[in-house]
């Protein structure tokens, strides 16, 4: 949607423009999305959130909870910041940051879920996601000056480039046994606006991440086994107040 109309829609939430205009003009979760993973944090600075999974049988059908209760997850040490995802979001709001490289904030918004990377992805038989086995050759680039910023690349570990130690994907690290790609800032990747955002195993119950969404291993395995690439799964992460603001506009499930 054109930026001017989007800003008019946001203004409607405070009474400047009639709310029905927003309801018809605002973008929504795409009809093709039939699985939605939802994270709700207490506020923009919260390093934790609660996670739920929802599915729907057809476009416009009501969302149905796939789990009986939310799972606790850890976010970035700095909380959240608006990210670059599927829906336009109001970057530049006073007091609300936009995602930047190394800001230790998790990106807020709606994002496609991509490939499952890991050093043992075949340990979960029956997965319905694209998978990639990580070895010593695999790197993820977080240098904003690189033309491969926020991309997976492979190198020859016998003749590694100077940045290899910093960018390698670390097979054998328990927290990275499974790395499910959250496609923030991916289509396209904009320099300096955040990279390497995944779901993965937490390092401790109260240990925040650098911007990823992390959880206990059993909860992550449950999520991976539930997801189905044919259902075009997406991830929606917002603070509670923002979730309540966009729930109707974006066609989101009821808050939990």
pLDDT averaged over every residue in the chain: 91
* 19 and 136, same domain (yes or no): no
Query: Nearest 5°: phi and psi at 52?
Result: -135, 160
| pLDDT for the residue 32 | 97
Asked if residue 190 is part of any domain, the answer here is: yes
* 8 and 61, same domain (yes or no): no
| pLDDT for the residue 240 | 98
Least confident of 1-5, 73-77, 87-91, 136-140: 1-5
Does the pLDDT of residue 64 top 70, yes or no? yes
* 100 and 153, same domain (yes or no): yes
* 19 and 129, same domain (yes or no): no
| pLDDT for the residue 25 | 52
* 100 and 86, same domain (yes or no): yes
Tens of pLDDT, residue by residue over 167-185, are 999 988 999 999 999 999 9
121 — pLDDT class (breaks 50, 70, 90): confident
Number of domains composing the chain: 2
Tens of pLDDT, residue by residue over 95-104, are 999 999 999 9
Does the pLDDT of residue 3 top 70, yes or no? no
pTM for the whole structure: 0.90
Asked if residue 83 is part of any domain, the answer here is: yes
Asked if residue 45 is part of any domain, the answer here is: yes
CA–CA gap between residue 31 and residue 29 (Å, rounded): 6
Asked if residue 242 is part of any domain, the answer here is: yes
Asked if residue 85 is part of any domain, the answer here is: yes
146 — pLDDT class (breaks 50, 70, 90): very high
* 13 and 124, same domain (yes or no): no
* 153 and 168, same domain (yes or no): yes
* 8 and 117, same domain (yes or no): no
* 15 and 41, same domain (yes or no): no
Burial class (CB in 10 A: 0-12, 13-18, 19+), 24: exposed
Tens of pLDDT, residue by residue over 217-249, are 999 999 999 999 999 999 999 999 999 999 999
8-32: average pLDDT: 53
Asked if residue 11 is part of any domain, the answer here is: yes
* 132 and 151, same domain (yes or no): yes
* 83 and 165, same domain (yes or no): yes
Asked if residue 255 is part of any domain, the answer here is: no
Query: Nearest 5°: phi and psi at 110?
Result: -115, 130
* 169 and 183, same domain (yes or no): yes
Range of the domain at 7: 1-29
């Amino acid at each position: 949607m054109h930026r001017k109309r989007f800003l008019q829609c946001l203004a409607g939430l405070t009474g400047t423009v009639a709310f029905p205009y927003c309801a018809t003009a605002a973008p929504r979760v795409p009809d093709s999305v039939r699985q939605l993973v939802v994270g709700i944090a207490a506020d923009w600075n919260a390093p934790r959130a609660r996670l739920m999974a929802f599915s729907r049988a057809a476009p416009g059908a009501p969302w149905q909870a796939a789990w009986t209760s939310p799972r606790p997850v850890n976010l970035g040490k700095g909380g959240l910041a608006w990210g670059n995802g599927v829906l336009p979001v109001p970057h530049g709001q006073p007091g609300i940051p936009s995602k930047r490289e190394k800001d230790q904030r998790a990106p807020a918004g709606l994002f496609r879920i991509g490939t499952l990377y890991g050093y043992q992805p075949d340990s979960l038989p029956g997965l319905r996601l694209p998978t990639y086995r990580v070895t010593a050759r695999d790197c993820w680039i977080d240098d904003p000056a690189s033309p491969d910023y926020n991309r997976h690349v492979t190198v020859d570990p016998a003749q590694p480039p100077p940045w290899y130690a910093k960018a390698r994907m670390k097979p054998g690290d328990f927290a990275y046994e499974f790395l499910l790609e959250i496609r923030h800032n991916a289509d396209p990747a904009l320099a300096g606006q955040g990279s390497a955002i995944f779901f993965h195993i937490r390092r401790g119950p109260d240990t925040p991440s650098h911007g990823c969404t992390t959880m206990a291993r059993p909860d992550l395995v449950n999520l991976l086994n539930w997801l189905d690439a044919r259902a075009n799964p997406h991830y929606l992460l917002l603070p509670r107040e923002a979730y309540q603001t966009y729930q109707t506009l974006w066609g989101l499930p009821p808050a939990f």
